[in-house]
Amino acid sequence: MTTTVNAFWATAPDEPLSKTTIERRDLGPKDVLIDIAFAGICHSDIHTARNEWGGTTYPVVPGHEIAGTVAAVGDEVTKHKVGDRVGVGCFVDSCGECEACKNGDEQYCTKGVVQTYNSSTYEGEFTHGGYSQQVVVTEDFVLKIPEGVELDVAAPLLCAGITLYTPLKHWGAGPGKKVAIIGMGGLGHIGVKIAHALGAEVTVLSQTLSKESDGKRFGADHYYATKDADTFRALRGEFDLIINTVSVNLDLDSYLGLLAVDGTLVELGVPEHPLEIKAFSLLANRRSIAGSMVGGIPATQEMLDFCAEHGIGAEIEKISADEINAAYDRVVDSDVRYRFVIDTATLAD
């Protein structure tokens, strides 16, 4: 028997999100029904709701930063029980058979990972996300949220947290490594916290010094303004790893010049125009440029456990459901420190 729940969805690119009701599927033997407590607002929610990347199927309920508690489980569920604190991230299914899935990198599933929203399941259904009261997810794609982190600040970790944790771990951020984070926004501030907890020497590269006190509080050892031309002279050849969290087209040649021998710049943002670099920016110092996209289920669970152990959560502003549209505009205007999280209890109003 399907369940009817309140939700907020987008119905067209140029229309505000509005309240509605949606049907959640019957609870299958391997399924988990989650009472959603909080849903983070990711900038990709906005891109999708406004069809800025193309490919949006309307109407759609956004939200892939989901935190809540288990309300019911299917007869064959073994990993979760009623009352457990759990989360759901960017995807809710994969083929489980390809090399990527077997390696725990479900985000790179060769058959095509099933996104938490705006995606077709292998059975031909359409997924709706976390701006709702409940969600049904197969148990293998439900994460445990440890007691060491509150649900509200944990919600953004399901996307922003794993988006930063994966490249920091993959490229070896840790003691003796110098890491720079470009941008101190919704992604960057979590990257600073995680890189610091991993033991790296952390530098923030931001347009101005307006958030320097925050950056130092989150664990940054150094903070530089990229509007200052002296920054690029002073830091030339300095870093082992640079993580770019901003979605604007930067002068990448200047940033590549900050890498030490064998250093890597990892692109996380999705700017409007193609990336442009000069070949000599890579040839010098044997530098690399790479990309990274969220993380698989094992890595996401590892990240949540790590964040709980080190007391890491997102810096958030909690909002009610009727504030979603205003929050979208504020995210676009960079007017949030540092993530909006929807209190889904307000959907019952």
Hey, how many other C-beta atoms are within 10 angstroms of the C-beta on 348?
A: 9
CATH superfamily of 160-291: NAD(P)-binding Rossmann-like Domain (3.40.50.720)
Q: Name the pairing type of β-strands 91-93 and 114-115.
A: antiparallel
| Cα torsion through 326, 328, 331, 333, rounded to 10 | -70
pLDDT on residue 52: 93
Q: Rounded to 5 degrees, what are φ and ψ at 319?
A: -135, 160
Give the integer Cα–Cα distance in Å for 335 and 104.
36
CA distances 345 to 59, 141, 314, Å, are 22, 23, 20
Every domain range in the chain assigned CATH 3.40.50.720:
160-291
pLDDT on residue 330: 97
Query: Would you say 281 and 289 are in contact if contact means Cβ atoms under 8 Å apart?
Result: no
Every domain range in the chain assigned CATH 3.90.180.10:
3-159+313-346
State pLDDT tens for residues 257-278.
Answer: 999 999 999 999 888 899 999 9
Query: Would you say 48 and 118 are in contact if contact means Cβ atoms under 8 Å apart?
Result: yes
Query: Would you say 109 and 95 are in contact if contact means Cβ atoms under 8 Å apart?
Result: yes
Confidence band for 2, pLDDT divided at 50, 70 and 90: confident
**Crossing angle of helices 160-170 and 188-198, rounded to 10°:** 40
Six token digits for residue 104: 């725990």
CATH for the 3-159+313-346 domain, from 1.10.260.40, 3.90.180.10, 3.50.50.60, 3.30.930.10: 3.90.180.10
User: What is the residue-averaged pLDDT of the chain?
Assistant: 96
| pTM check: above 0.85 | yes
Helix boundaries (H) for the chain: 43-49, 99-102, 151-154, 160-170, 188-198, 212-218, 229-234, 252-256, 279-283, 297-309, 324-332
**Burial of residue 135 (number of CB atoms within 10 Å: 0-12, 13-18, 19+):** buried
State pLDDT tens for residues 22-60.
Answer: 999 999 999 999 999 999 999 999 999 999 999 999 999
State pLDDT tens for residues 133-144.
Answer: 999 999 999 999
Helix boundaries (H) for 89-154: 99-102, 151-154
State pLDDT tens for residues 282-339.
Answer: 999 999 999 999 999 999 999 999 999 999 999 999 999 999 999 999 999 999 999 9
